[in-house]
Amino acid sequence: MHVRWITGDMTYANSFVYGNILIDAGVLPMAVKPYAAAIDTIVITHAHYDHIAHLAEIAAMCGDATVCIHHADAQGLIDDSRSLAMYFGARSPGIVPDVTLADGDRVGDLLVIHTPGHTPGGICLYDQEARSLFSGDTVFTGGSFGRYDFPGGDLNALAASVERLSTLEVEALYPGHGEPVQHDGWRHIAAAREALRLYG
């Protein structure tokens, strides 16, 4: 399935359109508007403000799309301290998710993989057939990884999450920040795994 990358700026996160699914909602609503008619589900990879800033407006624009987030991060949609909204001079979207996710759930063709470490409820989304991974802020292209020094972060959990991702067959890697890659995504995950071992 074709992936449409909606580029995040230096402050806000990338979003991706995958069929009827929007992954993350920090980008401006006007950037999502061309795809709004096709979107009926929004999956949030974690509840930091740069990934949820425009969630309420985008969900409404997409015909009250179903909002999904891991249960351990759901509180961040209404709790400014969990979303880190105060660092942006803003407030959390103030909405309750329609669906709370758990490891092993599916959203369409995407497998939910719980990857705590950056936040307690961080997730990645994996399409096994396409060998595509939407990695949120767990791992980035270039072999870097999400910060673990925010409230709820955990270095050991992050290392275990990246270790788990390294067992997947990943060609296309779509991170929460930075540029995606279409080939050899597994190499970027392996590099992050090795870098994290230096911190352990």
- 4-26-71 Cα angle (round to 5): 100
pLDDT band at 9 (very low <50, low <70, confident <90, very high): confident
Task: Give the structural domain span for 53.
Answer: 3-199
What sign for the dihedral angle of Cα 42, 43, 45, 49? positive
What pLDDT is attached to residue 11? 79
Are the C-beta atoms of 73 and 121 separated by less than 8 Å?
yes
pLDDT value of position 105: 98
Residue 73 — pLDDT band, cuts 50, 70, 90? very high
Helix/strand/coil for 53: coil
pLDDT digits (tens, 9 = 90+) for 119-137: 999 999 999 999 999 999 9
Query: CA nearest 83: which of 152, 134, 138, 29?
Result: 152
Q: Are 42 and 110 in contact (CB under 8 A)?
A: no
Residue with tokens 């920090």: 26
Amino acid at 190: A
Percent of the chain with pLDDT over 90: 95
Side-by-side strand order, sheet with 99-101? 3-6, 15-18, 21-23, 41-44, 66-70, 99-101
- The residues near 30 (Cβ < 8 Å, ≥ 6 apart) are none
DSSP 181: B
> In the predicted model, is pLDDT for residue 69 greater than 70?
yes
d(CA 197, CA 151): 22
Domain total in the chain: 1
pTM, full prediction: 0.97
Predicted confidence band at 111 (pLDDT cuts at 50, 70, 90)? Answer: very high
Predicted confidence band of residue 198 (pLDDT cuts 50, 70, 90): confident
User: Which pLDDT does position 200 carry in this prediction?
Assistant: 62
Looking up residue 168, the CATH number of its domain turns out to be 3.60.15.10
Quote the tokens at residue 44: 């949030």
* pLDDT at residue 10 is higher than 90: no
